[in-house]
Amino acid sequence: MLLGDAKQYCGCVWNVFLWRTSTEIMEDVIGRMQDEKNGIPIRTVKSFLSKIPSVFSESGCHFVLGLLKNPLFVPLVEALHLGTLMAAHGYFFPISDHVLTLKDDGTFYRFQTPYFWPSNCWEPENTDYAVYLCKRTMQNKARLELADYEAESLARLQRAFARKWEFIFMQAEAQAKVDKKRDKIERKILDSQERAFWDVHRPVPGCVNTTEVDIKKSSRMKNPHKTRKSVYGLQNDIRSHSPTHTPAPEAKQPTEEELREQIKFWQAQLDRHRLKMSKVAESLLSYTEQYSDYDPFLSTPDPSNPWISDDTTLWEMEASKEPGQTRVRRWGFGIDEVLKDPVGREQFLKFLESEFSSENLRFWLAVQELKRRPIREVPTRVQEIWEEFLAPGAPSAINVDSKSYDKTTQNVKDPGRYAFEDAQEHIYKLMKSDSYSRFIRSSAYQELLQAKKKVKHLKQSDNPKNPPQKKNLIL
């Protein structure tokens, strides 16, 4: 076992006990990035006409992954990706771009103020956005000109809020006044942070909106008491209540009935027979090993993987009535493989018919079919199967143990889809131990198995382009 794997696994185990949400982890990372002693150096950069305060650059973005105990395990591309996600969620932002990504190209970034962090459960209204855009138009135009999409949004909002516009305008003026009073450097920083906040909540068209939630989860949000606070202190009467904020229902206390059911369940579970892990592991390993030749991700299919070569020969071969050698070999893995494959079933049936012992398989197939019929057809089919296979004097009489027979006789009186379940199970076990092993040993099966081998051999040497090598060789 590689040391890395061990650490990974130990790390996993440890994390299980210290599980935190992605938000908690990201905020922890930000905390560490901002740490005065061990975090990323933040400085003021001199640009052509002015200074750019409070920024950090990303040459050496393993800093981003302060969350990892050993960043060497994480390739650069992954580190950049995670950093981009953190930017997209609004924890830091490029100072001169609306698009929130992390790049390793010397761009400068600034941290977002905790006030605007996602954990504060912001869901800013359009009225707030309107105030913001309006305010922007009042300020020094050269520096804060609206982008095209922002101008479009502003126009749209002006139409939507036509009646309230005077109020919105007043709020914008008030905000602009407050901003003017601030220190120049402070203003620069706060303006950029405010802009980044809106980049998260009103992203550039085409950018991911990280505030979108899965509707299945939103109705059970962990913060049922989210305050719909306004960014600019607008009154409640402008806001509407969101239907997605119904508080999560209190977890129901189990009733006495339910508790008794639970106790019965746990008792039944305790009585269950369990296998040792070592046995189970061996079983998983051997199954995987047996099928690895059939797994296109592990062994290149013959002649080719249609998705890679654009050649559908593989599928055409499988659709044909002539089963290939690999396919025939698979039937030897177990009776389920034969029963699963329509051609396998056909061959198995043919073999049993030649021995005049096909009634078991036919019964099994008939019962499978019964379970697939609409419920309306079930009673009739049950009768038919009974007549054919089980009734006294049945033309294709099968042998089931007396217990199953009695049970089935009862079931047939009130026929449901599972009327023959016990009988079917018995017959399956019989087929598995008897008919199936005879089939695999039969000359019919062996011929099928051998017949294609020669052909395949020729194919191999004929086609140097597709040598039957295992796909996962390190080239």
Partner 1 sequence: MEPQLQGQVIRQLFFLIGATSVNSILLRKDLCSCRKGMLSSPHQNTPRHREILCFLVEMAAQPSDTLATLKTESETLKTKLEEERAKLHDVELHQVAEKIEALGQFVMKTRRALKGHGNKVLCLDWCKDKRRIVSSSQDGKVIVWDAFTTNKEHAVTMPCTWVMACAYAPSGCAVACGGLDNKCSVYPLSLDKNENLAAKKKSVAMHTNYLSACCFTNSDMQILTSSGDGTCALWDVESGQMLQSFHGHAADVLCLDLAPSETGNTFVSGGCDKKSCVWDMRTGQCVQSFETHESDINSVRYYPSGDAFASGSDDATCRLYDLRADREVAIYSKESIIFGASSVDFSLSGRLLFGGYNDYTINVWDVLKGTRVSILFGHENRVSTLRVSPDGTAFCSGSWDHTLRIWA
197-216 binders of partner 1 (CB under 8 A):
208, 212, 215-216
Give the chain's end-to-end CA distance (angstroms, integer). Answer: 22
Residue in 44, 368, 409, 437 binding partner 1, rule: CB under 8 A: 368
333 to 362: interface string for partner 1, x by CB under 8 A: ---x--xx----------------------
Which stretch, 52-60, 193-201, 367-375, 401-409, contacts partner 1 (CB under 8 A)?
Answer: 367-375
Nearest residue (CB) to partner 1, 115 versus 291? 291
Residues 22-61 that bind partner 1 (CB under 8 A): 22, 25-26
Nearest residue (CB) to partner 1, 73 versus 115? 73
Nearest residue (CB) to partner 1, 1 versus 162? 1
Q: Is 146 within 8 Å of 154 (Cβ atoms)?
A: yes
HSE, CB side, 13 Å, CA atoms: give it for residue 397.
Answer: 7
Q: Is 417 in the site for partner 1 (CB under 8 A)?
A: yes
Residue in 32, 62, 81, 103 binding partner 1, rule: CB under 8 A: 81
Q: Is 13 in the site for partner 1 (CB under 8 A)?
A: yes
Nearest residue (CB) to partner 1, 146 versus 378? 378
259 to 288: interface string for partner 1, x by CB under 8 A: xx-xx-xxx-xx-x-xxxxxxxxxxxx-xx
Determine the Cα–Cα distance for residues 91 and 113; give it in Å rounded to an integer: 8
Sign of CA dihedral 213, 215, 219, 220: negative
239: its two tokens: 């806001």
Please report how close the Cβ of residue 279 comes to partner 1 at its closest, in angstroms: 8
Please report how close the Cβ of residue 259 comes to partner 1 at its closest, in angstroms: 4
* Alpha-carbon torsion, ordered 167, 169, 173, 179, to 10 deg: 100
Closest CA to 29 of 66, 71, 77: 66
Q: Is 414 in the site for partner 1 (CB under 8 A)?
A: no
HSE, CB side, 13 Å, CA atoms: give it for residue 385.
Answer: 31
Residues 299-338 that bind partner 1 (CB under 8 A): 301, 305-308, 312, 314-315, 318, 336
What residues form DSSP beta bridges with 123?
A: none
CA distance readout (Å), 329 to 75, 294, 303, 325, 338: 42, 11, 17, 6, 10
